[in-house]
Each structure stands twice: as structure tokens, then as C-alpha cells.
Structure 1
Amino acid sequence: MRAVIQRVQKASVCVNGETVSTIGRGLCVLIGIHKNDSRDDMEYMVRKILNIRLFEDTSGKRWNLSVKDLGLEVLCISQFTLYCEMKGNKPDYRHAMGGDLSKEFYENFLTHMRGQYKPEKIKDGIFGAMMQVDIQNDGPVTVNIDSPMKNANKMDQPQLSKDDS
């Protein structure tokens, strides 16, 4: 999995001109799902997103508190384009998980995240819809995280056994 995490003062997502989710201070997270992602990847990303220390504490010490520490909100947006690979000038999304599988995986990701935090603090857009995401970035602070096993190029190449070398 891949996440682009942005610390925000506020964020919202609209579909067809209608606001479907909005948050105040917290994190806006773009989520990409790799075709080989597993439950372990999902659990890792949930843990990292909820516990990443992107906020200052009351004494002004930076990078000391998480959304969980402060009781803030998280807006998650599914974004298959995070697994884009360029073929000349044309984007190729072959590393992204396919539609039906990724929808189920993403819904399970949100369920797991809500189970690890306050469900009412986790918001999202509409899977597969053309969305307009409006953020007021705070800092700006943007952090990219990949689940630990991810290296799209290595995962797609056949692995040699000892007998093959």
C-alpha cells in the first residue's frame, strides 16, 4: 500500500458538486492499493496513519503528537493513480489492484481503521467516483509512506530460486 498523508486545517471531498465528506483539523490521506497487497500491509498502514507524529504538543514541540493523541479527524481518499508507472508519456496502472478487489480491500481498510480509532473520526470519499478534494494544507506537511514489503518492480519480477542461479 502507498499513502500520501497531508496535515490539514480542513479538508472536504465533493462528487458531482455535492459535498460527501468534510473534516476539520487532521489528516487527508490518499490511499493506493498495490495488486499484491495483503492484510499485513493494511494493518501496517492503519497503524502508521493513526500514530504518525505530525503535530506539535502544547509546549510547541514539533513532531510529537498523532491524530489519535489529539482526537483529530482523518479523511481517506482511494487513489489508484498512486501506483502509476510511465510508459513513455502514457500512464500505466498495472501495479494497482483491480476494481472489484480493490473496492473490497479499501472498505476493509476503512473498517479496520475505524476499529482502531473513533469510527466517527474516519471519513472517506466515494470509491471509484470522480472526486474533487479540497484541502487547506497545514505547514505544508506532506509525508509519503509505503508498506514495508512494497517495491512494485521487484514484486512483479519472477524470483530466482537457489537452483536457478
Structure 2
Amino acid sequence: MRALIQRVKEAKVIVDDVITGEIRQGLLVFLGLGRDDQLENGKKLIDKILKYRVFDDENGKMGWNLSQAQGGLLLVSQFTLMAQTQKGLRPDFGPAMPPQQAKVLYDQLVEYAQSQFDHVETGIFAADMQVHLINDGPVTFQLEIL
């Protein structure tokens, strides 16, 4: 399971000209699910994201987490994060979880995130999404739970 997290000034997801999720300051999280990923590992990743200190505190250091920064969380499923890219010129998506199974796990992780944090927005699983963001920094990290 991989998460690409970006600190943003604002972000939104649009599907078929409709905004499906939108935040102001916060974290945009692209979430990739692998074949063997489980709910318990996903909960650990969500917990880490929510506690990860990437926002400037009163001293200008990355000392505040999402809650302390009073930000929002925008979760977007992205199976391409699981691609193997070491060989050749075409990504291999074999390590990604099959779509039907991934949707169930993604929905469970969204539900868990919503139970742990007040302001959670999402894209639409497997939809053709346009993601708009203003990256703050830029500050981008890849988190992985094995």
C-alpha cells in the first residue's frame, strides 16, 4: 500500500464536470492498493497520514499534523502508484489489487478515515478524475506500509 501525500493550499476532484471532493489547506492523498494489502495495514497508513507532521508550526518548522493545522484530507484512489517501472518502457500494473477487491478496501479506508477525522473528502473510485491542486511548498512525501 502506497500513499503519495501532498501538502496543498487547496485541491479538488472533478468527475463529469461535477466537484466530488474539495478541500482548502490540507493533504491531497493519492492511495495505491497492492494485491496483498489488508484493512489493518490501511488503518496504520491512515493513522500515519493523519499524524504526519508536515505543516509549519509557530516556529516555521514542520511540527504540526493535519488536525493541528486545521486542514482537510482529500483521498483519491490511484492504482498506478503500484506499478512496477524498473523494466521496459511500459508500466506493469500486476502488483495492483484487482478493481473489485480494491474498491471494497478503498471504501473501508475512507470510512475509517472519516471515523478518525472530521474533514475527509474523496474522488470517485475508478472514475476518470481531474485533480486540481495548488501544492504548498511543494511538500510531497511517499508513505508505504508493507
Sort the TM-score into its range (normalised by shorter chain): over 0.9
Provide the TM-score with structure 2 as the length reference: 0.95
Counterparts of 1:29 and 1:45 in 2: how far apart (Å)? Answer: 11
**1:81 and 2:80 correspond:** yes
Unaligned runs of 5+ in 1: 150-165
Secondary structure in structure 2 of the residue aligned to 1:105: helix
Work out the number of aligned pairs and report it.
145
- Equivalent pair of 2:39/2:108 in contact (CA under 8 Å): no
Q: Give the AA of the match of 1:111.
A: E
1:129 counterpart residue number: 127
Q: Give the Å deviation of 1:90.
A: 1.7
- Listed one character per residue, the Cα deviations across residues 22-75 of structure 1 (whole Å, up to 9, x for unaligned) are 110000000000110112211111111101000111x23311001122321000
1:68 counterpart residue number: 67
Secondary structure in structure 2 of the residue aligned to 1:90: coil
Counterparts of 1:123 and 1:19 in 2: how far apart (Å)? Answer: 11
Q: Give the AA of the match of 1:83.
A: M
- Listed one character per residue, the Cα deviations across residues 106-148 of structure 1 (whole Å, up to 9, x for unaligned) are 0000111111111xx100001000101000000000010000x
Q: Give the Å deviation of 1:92.
A: 1.3
Kindly report the root-mean-square deviation, in angstroms, between the aligned alpha carbons of the 2 structures: 1.1
Counterparts of 2:105 and 2:59 in 1: how far apart (Å)? Answer: 38
Identity of aligned residues (%): 34
Q: Give the Å deviation of 1:17.
A: 2.2
1:38 counterpart residue number: 38
Which fold has the larger relative contact order, with Cα–Cα distance below 8 Å and residues 6 or more apart in sequence? 2
- Equivalent pair of 2:7/2:26 in contact (CA under 8 Å): yes
2:136 to 138, 148, 153: 138
Provide the TM-score with structure 1 as the length reference: 0.84
Decide which structure has greater helix share: 1
Counterparts of 1:69 and 1:31 in 2: how far apart (Å)? Answer: 23
